[in-house]
Structure 1
Amino acid sequence: MNREAGMPLHTRIFIGLAVGLGLGLLCNIVLPGDPRVQWVVANVAYPAGQIFLRSIFMIVIPLIFTAIVLGIADLGDIKKIGRIGLKTLLFTVVITGISVLIGLTLVNTVKPGVGLSEQSRTALIGALSNNEKVSGIVTSAGEAKTPIQTLVEIIPRNPLADAVYAFDPEYRGGGLLSVMFFSVVFGVALAVSDPRRTAPLVQGLQGLYDVIMKIIEFAMNLAPYGVAALIFTTASQLGFEVILVLLKYVLVVIAALAIHQFVTYGLIVRFFARLNPLKFFQSIREVMLTAFSTSSSNATLPTAIRVSSNELKLNRDIANFVLTVGSTANQNGTALYEGITVLFLAQFYGVELTIGQQLTVVLLSILAGVGTAGVPGGSLPLVVLVLQTVGVPAEGIGIILGVDRILDMCRTVVNVTGDITLAACVDASENRASAKDTGVA
């Protein structure tokens, strides 16, 4: 591996995280609302963080296409591709369902939305009516597609348009899911074509993939500084008053995410992937830190692919396929967060949800988890859509905006860990199937 001699990358990322967080909180406490801090955020920290994020995002589309196409083409066996796809789908639905149930159980037990004083509740509700950010999210949710529309639009009319506008929040097309669908179809077609005629294309795609990996290596050298800038921006702007009001909600979300992260995934890794959970989490610590700092499954995808192959020694083709699809379709942490948020806001507004309505929240959260863009804040319009479905005021989304960034960081860690857990399980399952086919015990 091409790493700098001495301090490992994940250690440098953690130092950047600690420095950015410490300075940000210090500024928030000592210089709240100070124009000098605002200037540093607007002209130094935010641009520096965005440079790092953009250096990652610029290669996500070519990475998705080449990783999926090469993964399927190298697997070759269509039956094997279908088997891996089915395992990925079943894991996503079942484990996402478990994550949502963990969240709903905890929020129904602790009831974080109950107990606010009437004065605090009235003040918060009143502040929402003039919040432009809230209005924008509600508008986006109002334009959100039904599950049937989402299913139809996964098949792209123009895959290039979906690739170009995949990260545009105003785009109403299939986006990344459509790019993935086209990549899967392209890869399957390549796998069943005459290898003598397609060999130059495969070599060209492999060369493109190698170049993308080198760009990722360049970008990750910026990670410690980009992480520090991103965390400083968040910590310096996050008001402690809002945190105190929403502390119970935040703790419930983090506790549910931690249970799913270390208990659910730990058991799955132990009994299905046949790996030591402690070694597993230690091996992917760089991925978890990158996910936490960027709040983006898509931005973390290159690191997840590299670590899965180099540290966990997973089959590269399986890891490429499963992790690339999972970065958008396997959003366990997001689904858990959405379920808790809907019930919290229902409690806040005094809306009693029946068992049937809560089951609706479970199902919609699973579907929303599959369709959520793996970018910071990508789940908020879908949360509003679920709120509207069960009769909770959509403007309530503004109540949690102040702490959403922190929770976004935490749930992204769970999302990405879920993708790697899925890849490890599929890899172990395929190894057992190969051993059985060859008669090896």
Structure 2
Amino acid sequence: MKRLALHWRILIGMALGVLWGIAASSLGLIEFTLDWIKPFGTIFINLLKLIAVPLVLVSLITGVSSLSDISKLSRIGSKTIGIYLMTTVVAVVMGLVLVNLTEPGKAFSPEKREEFREEFASTTTQKSTDAAAVEGQGPLQPLVDIVPANIFGSLTNNGAMLQVIFFALLFGIALITIPPDKAAPVNDFFEGVNLVILKIVDFIMQTAPYGVFALLAGLVVEFAGEDPNAALELLLVLGYYCLVVIAGLAIMIFVVYPALAVLVGKTTYKKFFEGIFPAQMLAFSTSSSAATLPVTMECAEKNLGINREITSFVLPLGATINMDGTSLYQAVAAVFIAQAYGIELDIMAQIGIVMTATLASIGAAAVPGAGTVMLVIVLQQAGIPVEGIALILAPDRILDMIRTTVNVTGDATVSMMVARTEDQLQPPKETARV
């Protein structure tokens, strides 16, 4: 009997996890779920995080060293960063247009606003403190943070991915510039390590359906508590806001990215989605671009036919700096909170939101919830009450899952565009499916 493709098994695991979470809330199995099921989801996430830094380090070194000359690296790098910034600006502007047209913030009553403010007071204070620490730094601090003082310390911290990328680029460029006979053994070593890491990724992904089941079962139980209707009631109150965010994210996934893939990548709408679907499903369930990176790379290479020379550079960089979904969410959330407080934002304030959200997305870590901290900076820049973030914390976890899917889809799209312009896009094998 033919085994189901991995992405279908992941989808089934997601559905069963949600059903289990709802049933557990109704039958009093909350503690059982949190103690005996959720830990397997945590283990799965830890496995993905375990391989993320080695994958980025080794794949970037092998990718850069295979470019043969620095001029090629410069050309690909400038294209990649330029397209990433372009798609981020498009996402932010789209979010602002939607939230200004629909005005979801005006649907909140003063009573509900006060209720959220009290319920999430401690969390809001913590987010504000974290953001103040970031905002209090000098204008060049982000540049300083990219250069590690100790690369071994950076390798032990998934949040220091930009430092790992910096070192990998420096190492790869150095390999290009030394004599070929001296560089060959080093290249062979990293090529071998890269193969080993990719095989480990294959092993980990076989556990994905079970990990996704455990993750979503735990998430639903925590969200609903002992009352399975609580989650539904909360989402109904914030439903208007959620629909606006989801509409913007859906346009990015189903219109903007496919259009770029078809027009520039010269592929078909159907083939694009078939190729990236497994990575989208994992991104949705983990809410982490970094954790999904191994699968995104495999989908891009095997299913979309993108040369590893491109994926090993573009995708790790995208997982760190390309956060289109997060940027769109920040734009909608900022104006939504302003509307809820009765604050009118003029065109200059909204242009400021575009700039701040774009820059903040570059600094946001590729892990669940990082966008919320950066949102506080966007709010402060626009003069919107920071405590208003309490209004959107309740549904944020679910929206985080969707916007991470947008981030991953955007990474793959840009990778395909760069590959096409560099003539590094090959027809994928029909039998190759992650």
Report the TM-score, using the length of structure 1 for normalisation.
0.91
Aligned to 1:98: 90
Task: Give, in angstroms, the shift of residue 44 of structure 1.
Answer: 2.0
- Counting only pairs closer than 5 Å after superposition, residues 1-400 of structure 1 correspond to structure 2 as 6-28=3-25, 30=26, 34=28, 36-37=29-30, 39-129=31-121, 131=122, 133-145=123-135, 146=137, 147-167=139-159, 175-238=160-223, 239-400=231-392
Tell whether the 8 Å contact from 1:372 to 1:378 is kept in structure 2 after alignment.
Answer: yes
Tell whether the 8 Å contact from 2:306 to 2:424 is kept in structure 1 after alignment.
Answer: no
Report the TM-score, using the length of structure 2 for normalisation.
0.92
Q: What amino acid is the match of 1:162?
A: S
Q: Distance in 2 between matches of 1:73 and 1:384?
A: 39
1:424 aligns with 2:396: no
> Which deviates the most, 252-261 or 196-205?
196-205
- Structure 1 residues not aligned, in runs of 5+: 168-174, 434-441
Q: Distance in 2 between matches of 1:227 and 1:128?
A: 28
1:415 aligns with 2:400: no
Tell whether the 8 Å contact from 1:128 to 1:396 is kept in structure 2 after alignment.
Answer: no
Aligned to 1:405: 397
Q: Distance in 1 between matches of 2:415 and 2:107?
A: 42
Deviation per CA, 1:7-38, whole angstroms, max 9, x where unpaired? 1111111110110012223444x35xx4x31x
Q: Distance in 1 between matches of 2:325 and 2:310?
A: 22
Matched residue count = 416
Tell whether the 8 Å contact from 1:112 to 1:252 is kept in structure 2 after alignment.
Answer: yes
Task: Describe the shift of the 1:285–1:432 C-alpha distance in structure 2 as closer, same or farther (beyond 3 A).
Answer: closer
Tell whether the 8 Å contact from 1:338 to 1:365 is kept in structure 2 after alignment.
Answer: yes
Q: Distance in 1 between matches of 2:394 and 2:220?
A: 11
Task: Give, in angstroms, the shift of residue 87 of structure 1.
Answer: 0.5
Q: Distance in 1 between matches of 2:162 and 2:389?
A: 25
Aligned to 1:438: none
Q: What amino acid is the match of 2:216?
A: I
Q: Distance in 2 between matches of 1:425 and 1:43?
A: 45
Task: Give, in angstroms, the shift of residue 127 of structure 1.
Answer: 2.7
SS at match of 1:75: coil
Q: Distance in 1 between matches of 2:414 and 2:344?
A: 36
Task: Give, in angstroms, the shift of residue 195 of structure 1.
Answer: 1.5
Q: Distance in 2 between matches of 1:210 and 1:410?
A: 31
Task: Describe the shift of the 1:110–1:284 C-alpha distance in structure 2 as closer, same or farther (beyond 3 A).
Answer: same
Task: Give, in angstroms, the shift of residue 136 of structure 1.
Answer: 2.2
Tell whether the 8 Å contact from 2:44 to 2:208 is kept in structure 1 after alignment.
Answer: yes
Q: What amino acid is the match of 1:110?
A: T
Deviation per CA, 1:342-375, whole angstroms, max 9, x where unpaired? 1111111222222111111111111111111111
Q: Distance in 2 between matches of 1:41 and 1:420?
A: 35
Task: Give, in angstroms, the shift of residue 135 of structure 1.
Answer: 2.6
Tell whether the 8 Å contact from 2:128 to 2:376 is kept in structure 1 after alignment.
Answer: yes
Task: Describe the shift of the 1:291–1:358 C-alpha distance in structure 2 as closer, same or farther (beyond 3 A).
Answer: same
Q: What amino acid is the match of 1:134?
A: T
Task: Give, in angstroms, the shift of residue 115 of structure 1.
Answer: 2.2
Q: Distance in 2 between matches of 1:398 and 1:161?
A: 35
> Which deviates the most, 396-405 or 261-270?
396-405
Task: Give, in angstroms, the shift of residue 264 of structure 1.
Answer: 0.7
Tell whether the 8 Å contact from 1:128 to 1:395 is kept in structure 2 after alignment.
Answer: no
Task: Describe the shift of the 1:292–1:103 C-alpha distance in structure 2 as closer, same or farther (beyond 3 A).
Answer: same
**What's the Cα RMSD here?**
1.7
Deviation per CA, 1:32-64, whole angstroms, max 9, x where unpaired? xx4x31x12321232111100001100111111
Q: Distance in 2 between matches of 1:190 and 1:408?
A: 39
Report % sequence identity: 39
Deviation per CA, 1:148-188, whole angstroms, max 9, x where unpaired? 21122212222222222333xxxxxxx21121111111111
Q: Distance in 2 between matches of 1:422 and 1:245?
A: 36
Deviation per CA, 1:330-353, whole angstroms, max 9, x where unpaired? 111111111111111111122222
Q: Distance in 1 between matches of 2:5 and 2:265?
A: 27
Q: What amino acid is the match of 1:6?
A: R
Task: Give, in angstroms, the shift of residue 98 of structure 1.
Answer: 0.3
SS at match of 2:104: coil
SS at match of 2:370: coil
Task: Give, in angstroms, the shift of residue 379 of structure 1.
Answer: 1.1
Tell whether the 8 Å contact from 2:310 to 2:424 is kept in structure 1 after alignment.
Answer: no
Q: What amino acid is the match of 1:11?
A: W
Q: Distance in 1 between matches of 2:424 and 2:34?
A: 53
Task: Give, in angstroms, the shift of residue 226 of structure 1.
Answer: 0.6
